[in-house]
Amino acid sequence: MKITVIQGPNLNMLGIRERSIYGAITLEALHEGLKKIAEQNGIEVEFHQSNLEGEIVDRIQESYGESDVIILNAAAYTHTSIAIRDAISAVNIPTIEVHISNTARREEFRHTSLISAVCAGIITGFGPFTYHLAMLAAIQICNEIAAQKAAQNSQNA
């Protein structure tokens, strides 16, 4: 099983950017923690970060047939990108939308997500721990997919 974590614009600046909102953890440290959780559960994890909308769309599309779950923090593109929404719909991979801050408690323009409706779920507002919660949800989805495949195989045997 494989989980792909895709990080949007400015997340490469974690640890530097608005620490009162996003905390002091770096993106690399965040990914290391997620990698440990994945390894403990026998799941492969892959990480990508881009400040460019088209590269995020490309990575979502490249996940087709390769990943079982996507964890996506589209960052500012959450509120503006129909292209990212369409890519999520196109690949039909369970996608978990994450945000470090509670976007509902922030500026009005952050209250609307164009991608939420095509995601399996949303986890927001728990700081960097948001990603750990998303990883647990992704592992659960992977386990459900594996159980469904096993049931189908036993029916076909």
Which residues does the annotation mark as catalytic? 22, 99
Q: At residue 85, what is the residue type? A: R
Give me the helices (H) in 9-128, please.
19-22, 27-40, 53-62, 82-91
- Cα separations (Å) of 100 from 11, 46, 109? 10, 19, 16
Question: Using CA atoms, how far apart are residues 59 and 4, in angstroms rounded to an integer?
Answer: 9
